[in-house]
Amino acid sequence: MDLIFEFLTTLKNTVVDVLPILSIILGFQLLVIRKPIPHIKQVGFGFIYVLIGLALFLLGLEKALFPLGKMMAAQLTAPEFIHAGEQVLTTIHWTDYKWVYVFAAAIGFSTTIAEPSLIAVAIKAEEVSGGAINANSLRIAVAIGVAVGIALGSYRIVVGHPIHYYIIAGYVVVVIQTFYCPKLIMPLAYDSGGVTTSTVTVPLVAALGLGLASTIPGRSPLIDGFGLIAFASLFPIIAVMAYAQLTEARAHRAEQKEEKRNQIKQDKQNKRNLNQKQQDSLKESIEDK
Amino acid sequence: MTNQIFVFLKALLGSCKDLLPIILVIAFFQFAVLQQPMPNVGDILVGLALVVLGLTFFIYGLEMGLFPIGESMAQAFAKKGSISWLLTFAFCLGFGTTVAEPSLIAVAKEAAIVAASGGIIADTLESQLSYANGLRFTVAFAVGFAIVMGVLRILRGWPIQYLILGGYVVVVLMTMIAPNWIIGIAYDSGGVTTSTITVPLVTALGVGLASAIKGRNPMIDGFGLIAFASLTPMIFVMIYGMVIS
């Protein structure tokens, strides 16, 4: 009974969140476009499904994943776990936090795979590209980017470097990659930075950043706790471009291989023809005799 | 009917697969690294079932409702041929979906607390509220501006890389002159603006526009709207920080 009540509350909140979008769409459809929405019934049901789905999704996250993930982030960053054997805390070494980096990468990867807005963009990309871009490969590439980004962001909080060095260095990499990236995937790569950080990833990542910044001496949770999200939206761009470059390079190599194989085939064929001709002429000369 | 159930079950299985990595990661860290038993197993199982069901419904509704409406509106605007209405719609969509975004409200509130404790603004509830609201409207305006720019790009066929890289240059330059305390918040505000419902809608809008306009490739010109929406808030928030201080 409690569960149903909670679900209804979440559903109400979701509807309130969606209300501005809905009123903009309806307003423009009715006042500016002034045509009925095509397949109105199907679209209406689709909207209702999206709302129900989102509410169930959020409720489930609140019930199962968020408390557990946040607790783990707190436990992994707690001084008792990091400095278990030591009595007196003297210095902080960045290698003490190795499990934090592993956790950051793993949780970044896995939450990105489950991120609904990324699923949406990946489905659309596969559809538009006619299957040339595989939705699952794209999601895995983005997830790897987020994993690297969040692990690196955690390292930054531990060592206390200023954030903009990392972000600007990341921009430089993006600029260089842009020159070599296949044109077809570039806009998608830029987009993938923004879609990764929404419903699932942000709360867990924020908990991790906050846990780290509040337990390490000399870090302020309010200043250093921010910033992990920026890492999570920069590195997927690099990862998707790298994925596109790898795919292109592989396709190029396969093409070259194919060409070589054809060349060899052609050579063999030529040789065979030549042999045939020689034999024929030999036969002819024998017959002549 | 049986066919529909089959499709639903298949989608359900897909959602389970999407969720599997999280379950594995949490189980591994709980048992192998932290070496603790799983608390409230019942709650967690119920929660996971809800997440799987929710994801399935969401994806189902996405292809039935959100994608079609985004594309049909894009096509209707393209047919109507009124650029000013299209740009107005683009701005409203960006502004309207961002200003009420819960994660943005949360970040703005937290940023106000930072600013108050750092002595940037007066340490009263009133000034905190006005600061947080200012931040929210700045970000929402930035996203509206971004969608307008993105739509203009699709209409004109401008190559995306110059705009995005140009934006990066502006971000880097602004970082040098913006006050220190705003930088972390500004960088994060780019990531929190794009919600789960906005992303599919905006993507469908871009792809729909690019397919409706002659000479545009939906793959090259259709994507990229979200990229703008996560870039401009950084710039606008840094400007906001400079104006305030």
Residue-wise pLDDT tens digits, A95-123: 778 888 999 999 999 999 988 989 999 99
Q: How far is B211 from chain A (nearest CA, A)?
A: 10
pLDDT for B223 equals 92
Q: Do B219 and A174 touch (CB under 8 A)?
A: no
Q: Report whether B54 contacts A54 (CB < 8 A).
A: yes
Same domain, A27 and A95: no
Q: What is the distance in angstroms between the Cα of A254 and the nearest Cα belonging to chain B?
A: 24
Residue B44 at interface with chain A, using a CB cutoff of 8 Å: yes
Residues A177, A45 share a domain = no
Query: For an interface test with A, which of B17, B24, B29, B169 has the most A Cβ atoms less than 10 Å from its Cβ?
Result: B29
What are the chain B neighbours of A168 within 8 Å (beta carbons)? 172, 175
Query: Per-residue confidence at A140, pLDDT binned at 50, 70, 90?
Result: very high
pLDDT in tens, B42-87: 888 898 899 999 999 998 888 888 899 988 888 888 888 888 999 9
Kindly state whether residues A274 and A173 are assigned to the same domain. yes
Per-residue confidence (pLDDT) for residue A32, from 0 to 100: 86
Do A173 and A60 lie in one domain? The reply is no
Top pLDDT among A234 and A204 is at A234
Q: Are residues A150 and A43 in the same domain?
A: no
Q: Which of A43, A58, A190 sits opposite B69 (nearest CB)?
A: A43
Examine residue A70 and state whether it is found in any structural domain, yes or no. Answer: no
Give CA separation, A203 vs A61, A175, A272, in Å. 10, 30, 69
Supply the range of the domain harboring residue A29: 1-64
Tally the domains of chain A: 2
Residue B226 to residues A167, B85, B223: CA-CA distances in angstroms? 19, 20, 8
* Cβ density class A67-106: b for 16+ within 10 Å, e for less: bbbbbbbbbbbeeebbeeeeeeeeebeeeebeebbbbbbb
Same domain, A227 and A169: yes
pLDDT at A221: 67
User: Taking residues A205-217, what's their average pLDDT?
Assistant: 79
Higher pLDDT, A239 or B181: A239
Q: What is the pLDDT of residue A289?
A: 65
Least CB–CB distance from B65: residue in A32, A45, A222: A45
- The backbone region for A141, taken as left when phi is positive above 0, alpha when psi lies in -120 to 50, beta otherwise, is alpha
Kindly state whether residue A72 falls inside one of the protein's structural domains.
no
Residue A99 sits in the same domain as residue A42: no
Mention every residue, 6+ apart, whose C-beta is less than 8 A from residue B188. Answer: A226, A227, A229, A230, B107
Distances (CA, A) of A122 to A127, A130, A195, B199, B211: 9, 12, 10, 11, 18
> The tokens 């054997």 sit on which residue?
A85
Tell me what pLDDT residue A92 has: 67
Residue count (chain A): 289
Q: How many CB pairs under 8 A join A and B?
A: 329
User: For residues A75 and A82, what is the distance between their CA atoms, to the nearest angstrom?
Assistant: 9
Q: Which two tokens stand for residue A193?
A: 């930075």
Half-sphere exposure of B7 (CA within 13 A, CB side): 7
Let me know: does B207 contact B222? Beta carbons within 8 Å. yes
Considering only CB atoms, A46 lies closest to which of B61, B190, B207, namely B61
pLDDT band at A90 (very low <50, low <70, confident <90, very high): low
Whether residue A178 lies inside any domain: the answer is yes
Question: Which of A29-33, A89-93, A111-115, A217-221 is the least confident region?
Answer: A89-93
The total number of residues shown for chain B amounts to 245
Token pair 């110059």 is at which residue? B162
Give the pLDDT score at A1. 65
Q: Do A101 and A36 lie in a common domain?
A: no
Is the domain of A246 the same as that of A112? Answer: yes
State how far the Cα of A202 lies from the Cα of A188, in Å rounded to an integer: 21
Give the one of B28, B69, B184 whose C-beta lies nearest to A25's C-beta: B69
Residue with tokens 């060592």: A159
Determine contact, residues B194/B147, Cβ cutoff 8 Å: no
pTM confidence score: 0.85
Of the candidate ranges A6-20, A42-56, A207-221, B19-33, the one whose mean pLDDT is the lowest: A207-221
Question: What does the pLDDT read at residue B32?
Answer: 86
Please give the pLDDT value at position A40. 86
The residue from A64, A89, A107 where one domain ends is: A64
- Whether B238 has a pLDDT exceeding 80, the answer reads yes
Domain closes at, from A37, A64, A91 = A64
Q: B79-113, pLDDT tens digit by residue?
A: 888 889 999 999 998 998 888 777 788 778 877 87
Q: Do B159 and B94 meet the contact criterion of CB atoms below 8 Å apart?
A: no
Contacts of A168 (CB under 8 A, 6+ apart): B172, B175
Chain-chain contact of A76 with B33 (C-beta, under 8 angstroms): yes
- Is there a domain that residue A52 lies in? yes
Tell me the ipTM for this assembly: 0.87
Is residue A250 in a domain?
Answer: yes
Kindly state the tokens that stand for B127. 């000034």
State whether residue B218 sits within 8 Å of chain A by CB: yes
Residue A115: which of A144, A135, A143 has the closest Cα? A143
Question: Does some domain include residue A92?
Answer: yes
Percent of chain B residues topping a pLDDT of 90: 33
A239 and A199 part of one domain? yes
In a domain, A241, yes or no: yes
**Residue B245 distance to chain A (closest CA, Å):** 18
Are A174 and B85 an interchain contact pair (Cβ–Cβ within 8 Å)?
A: no
A167 and A44 part of one domain = no
Better-predicted residue by pLDDT, A236 or A280:
A236
- What pLDDT shows up at residue A73? 81
Half-sphere exposure of B90 (CA within 13 A, CB side): 30
Task: Give the pair of three-digit tokens for residue A241.
Answer: 């471009």
Compute the distance between CA of residue B98 and CA of residue B101 in angstroms, rounded to an integer: 5
Q: Are residue A139 and residue A206 in the same domain, yes or no? A: yes
Q: Are B193 and B226 in contact (CB under 8 A)?
A: no
Query: What Cα–Cα distance (Å) separates residue A155 from each residue in A84, A145, A163, A214, B151?
Result: 20, 15, 11, 14, 38
Q: Taking CB atoms and an 8 Å limit, are B59 and A119 in contact across chains?
A: yes
Residue A93, in any domain of the structure: yes
